[in-house]
Structure 1
Amino acid sequence: MATPPATGPLVTRHTLADEVRTLGVRPGEILLVHTSLSSLGWVCGGAVAVVQGLLDALGPAGTLVVPTQSGDLSDPATWGNPPVPSEWWPTIRATMPPYDPLVTPSRGVGVIPETVRTWPGALRSAHPLTSFAAIGARAGTVTRGHAPDCRLGERSPLARLEALHARVLLLGAGYDTCTAFHLAEYRIPSPLVESGRPGPDGWESVTEVSITSDRFDELGHDFERDRPVVRATVGAADARLFPVADAVAYAERWLATHRPRDDDFPDPRTHPAPSERRDDPRS
């Protein structure tokens, strides 16, 4: 059977840069990008060309930020995609390599974030499960100080992005991928959860705010209905552009109303997880 011909549109580094500029991406800004490479069309140069195009649009004073999560550095007892036999769990816990921002690959976020992670000069934050990688003028400011017991809260790059007036670009990705919404979970009453992971001194247990992307699609639909979101097409992909701060503020109100919660959940703003505190994210 013959291989079907490639389907377009044909996307290049230069067409992508032009189209995200038309969308409203400005030179010098900080951009948190969630991507789906396959949604763009036929990209000449693949993920490398997409990263180049985004950097072209941002210019030398801009900063590109992506999630580089590594959720496989977690307790095998919680794995479901796929699960592993319970008799393996002790060996996995004893031998799993700890997080190393230079070598631990990202998982489940696509090829473009992994390309950013390995880009010359890229910096990566310190959380073993929910790190971010950044390239550009403010990369150090964004990634510095990511507390190991604060996945996506006040001591994470998300809070820094909010304070620095960064914007989110969804490039072929849906609102279910919008990590900015998670910062809102740290600002409403939320349960705490204890989890295990490999550490530099062996297996460790950490208590953090419980987070989930459940109903983020609904949240995004309402956010787009009620708040200014710039929409356009980049290649074949639907693209959306909006401020991090707008997304967080809207999600804080929406989640408090639409997600059922137990009244006994501690408020993380007044009962933080161990060693978590609300530092000034601009420092």
Structure 2
Amino acid sequence: MRSVTQHPVLGDELTATQLSRLGVRRGGVLLVHASMRSAGGDAGSMKDSLRVALGPEGTLVVPSFTPENSDTSRSYLERVSGLAESARAVVRAAMPPFDPALTPAPSMGVLAETVRLSPASSRSGHPQTSFTALGPAAGKLLSGHRPDCHLGEESPLARLYEADAQVLLLGTGFAGCTAFHLAEYRRPTRPRRLYRCVVARESGRHWWEYEDIALDDGDFPALGADFVRRRACEVSVGRVRSARSHLFGIRAAVDFATTWLEEHRRGR
């Protein structure tokens, strides 16, 4: 028996076959959240496998979020917890401004970063919640990402919904299911809050403050569990390499989440 690790092309084809059997549509649009630690192997070959499964007409999309350049993000607040204000000021002063061509997205995982660094990739311009895409639909999906709309109707998530995209949670849980955030924007009552991050202007580095809805993923695991249980016929579950994975349509997920959130977040 030939070793897959010694024949990366064969490995890519085998993984692509797993993806196709799971239900990834050839020629479609696929939003991927991935844990390469769960999947095993390297991110470059996983990216290639995803593109093989999608085919030349398909488009691969990943989140390229950058909470590292914000002083209102959860990651910043955790980082400076217990620090004096003078020490917090030092942290803020060291934050580089967002540059869509250069700013990394380390918290999104190695696969997302591999896609972002691919020569043919495109990235949306939001300084906090950008997306990166590879494929013929990238320009249409990523254009018009309004800087004061993280994940709503003026973001790539809404364009993915319009494109009837699929979502692949590759070794990750529903806690990080970005698609559910679009449902937050579709609630009749949407709490709002202020956000702040560092951006680049002609005059140099600049702190920018803006208002958007208060994003909350705290109940996404429960939401995801209910989605899988109540819409089981619309969710494919299987292994990609060694990672237990879920594949589903973004429209089904967002429509379910919109109703679910209204039922479970009454009064907030």
* Sequence identity (%): 42
Alignment check: 8 A CA contact 2:64 2:116 kept? yes
The equivalent of 1:19 in structure 2 is: 18
How much is the aligned-residue C-alpha RMSD, in angstroms?
1.8
Cα distance between partner residues in 2 of 1:210 and 1:199: 21
| TM-aligned CA deviation for residue 215 of structure 1 | 1.1
**How much has 1:170 moved relative to structure 2?**
1.0
Q: What residue in structure 2 maps to residue 195 of structure 1?
A: 195
Q: Which moved more, 1:206-215 or 1:93-102?
A: 93-102
Alignment gaps of 5+ in structure 1: 1-9, 263-283
Distance 2:73 2:164 in 1: 39
Distance 1:199-1:40 versus aligned 2 partners, 3 A rule: closer
User: What is the letter of the counterpart of residue 230 of structure 1?
Assistant: S
Alignment of 1:248 with 2:244, yes or no, is no
Structure 1 residue 76, shift from structure 2 partner: 6.3
Pairing 1:80–2:77 present? yes
The alignment status of 1:59 with 2:65, answered yes or no, reads no
Shift of 1:77: 8.5
Structure 2, unaligned runs of 5 or more: 1-7
Kindly tell me the number of residue pairs found equivalent between the two proteins: 250
> What is the CA–CA distance in structure 2 between the aligned matches of 1:172 and 1:69, rounded to whole Å?
19
Question: 190-199 vs 70-79, which deviates more?
Answer: 70-79
Greater shift in the superposed pair: 73-82 or 151-160: 73-82
Q: For 1:228-247, what aligned pairs fall within 5 Å after superposition? A: 228-247=234-253
Are 2:62 and 2:115, in contact at CA under 8 Å, matched by a contact in 1?
A: yes
Query: In the alignment, what sits opposite 2:4?
Result: none
Q: Determine the C-alpha separation between the residues in 2 that align with 1:248 and 1:132.
A: 18
Matches of 1:77 and 1:235, distance apart in 2: 33
Q: Which has the higher helix share?
A: 2
- TM-score in terms of structure 1 length: 0.84
TM-score (norm 2): 0.88
The CA deviation at 1:93 is 4.1
Counterpart CA distance in 2 for 1:28 and 1:81 is 41
Residue 225 (structure 1) aligns with: 229
Residues 138-178 of structure 1 show CA distances to partners (whole Å, capped at 9, x for unaligned) of: 01111111110000000000000000110101111111111
Deviation per CA, 1:176-199: give whole Å up to 9, x if none: 111000001111112111121112
Following the alignment from structure 2 to structure 1, what is the Cα–Cα distance between the partners of residues 117 and 84? Answer: 33
Q: Distance in 2 between matches of 1:114 and 1:29?
A: 21
Query: Alpha-carbon deviations, 1:80-111, whole Å to 9, x = none?
Result: 33215421344544553221111000031110
